[in-house]
Amino acid sequence: MPSAVRDIYCRSSEGLKLHAREHAPAQADGALPVLCLPGLTRTTDDFDVLAAALVNDATTPRRVVSIDYRGRGLSDFDPDPAKYAVPVEAGDVQAVAASLGIEKAILIGTSRGGMISMLLASTQPALVVGVVLNDVGPALEMSGLVRIKEYVGRSTLPANWDEAVAAVKELFARDFPKLSDADWSAWARRGYHDRAGALARTHDAALKVAFEGIDPANPPPPAWKLFDKMAGKPLMLIHGGRSDLLSAQGVADMMARRPDIDLVEVPEEGHAPLLADEPTISRIAAFCARCDGGR
């Protein structure tokens, strides 16, 4: 029997509709499920390639659930933008996990999703068996934060798909020099969708509130206390060699505190690695298998 993919919905603690995409193997044989947590403006679509590989792994097929927090993808937008915050979004992840009966899982968090993963590892240690941080850590570079702040706050929308492709290529071509035209088109369709003949973002533009007050004079405080609370849990760090958000020094500082980190360098990708190349997927699959053995 082949694996199955389905879109599922549940409710947040305040009643907002939350969406998740589940890739379920015909038989998981006791393998831990994986919860995939996207970046700030990203959606479940970012994990489709990785999820398909993990659910169809010849040795250890496993259940994979990718989550749209509130304000993203097919989840409801929050009428109160102040709730676009890591602790609230961590609650969304818990709501989805509880609705699916997931009591233990491996978390794969890209950027914002990595911050949520660190918080959950601290506050819900029974849920989190292992963590994969995708190009994020306790100390982030201001240059990357400023760049993200600038594009999250843009008010203009592309008029058509050609403009959408051009827009994402303009923003990210420096960091992803090896992507093809087809790759850029796919990226655009992850960031926009057609709504009644006009393109709309796949996220709430009000997410820009997450960056209010952040500038070179007011950097966010480092989150080393959260990082240190992951002690004892298996930890993988994926680092984009072209990243402007997580520096080589930031990686070295994390390794100094956790020499056991399973480090994966993706040299020709920036923030954040796409998790779609075979070498990176193989390393993630091997990490998940090690987490299975350490439960």
Start-end of H helices in the chain:
48-55, 86-99, 112-123, 142-152, 161-172, 181-191, 224-228, 248-257, 278-293
- Comparing 72-81, 132-141, 205-214, the range with the smallest average pLDDT is 205-214
pLDDT, mean of residues 266-286: 98
Position 27 scores a pLDDT of 82
Position 197 scores a pLDDT of 87
Position 180 scores a pLDDT of 97
The answer to whether residues 13 and 70 touch, using CB atoms and an 8 Å cutoff, is no
Residues in the chain: 295
Position 295 scores a pLDDT of 60
Distances (CA, A) of 123 to 74, 162, 207, 225, 276: 27, 44, 24, 12, 30
Position 30 scores a pLDDT of 85
Burial of residue 271 (number of CB atoms within 10 Å: 0-12, 13-18, 19+) = buried
Q: Which of 173, 136, 134, 178 is nearest to 281 (CA)?
A: 134
Evaluate if residue 2 carries a pLDDT over 90: no
Position 90 scores a pLDDT of 98
Tokens coding 119: 């918080």
Evaluate if residue 21 carries a pLDDT over 60: yes
pLDDT, mean of residues 77-91: 97
Residue 76 pLDDT level (bands cut at 50, 70, 90) = very high
199-257 residue pLDDT tens: 999 999 999 998 888 889 889 999 999 999 999 999 999 999 999 999 999 999 999 99
Position 44 scores a pLDDT of 98
> What structural domains and CATH numbers belong to the chain?
4-141+221-293 (3.40.50.1820)
Whole-model pTM: value is 0.97
What does the mean pLDDT of the chain come to?
96
Q: Which of 13, 16, 15, 23 is nearest to 44 (CA)?
A: 23
| Residue 289 identity (one-letter amino acid) | A
Evaluate if residue 1 carries a pLDDT over 60: no
Position 243 scores a pLDDT of 98
The answer to whether residues 198 and 113 touch, using CB atoms and an 8 Å cutoff, is no
Find where tokens 């930890």 sit: 235
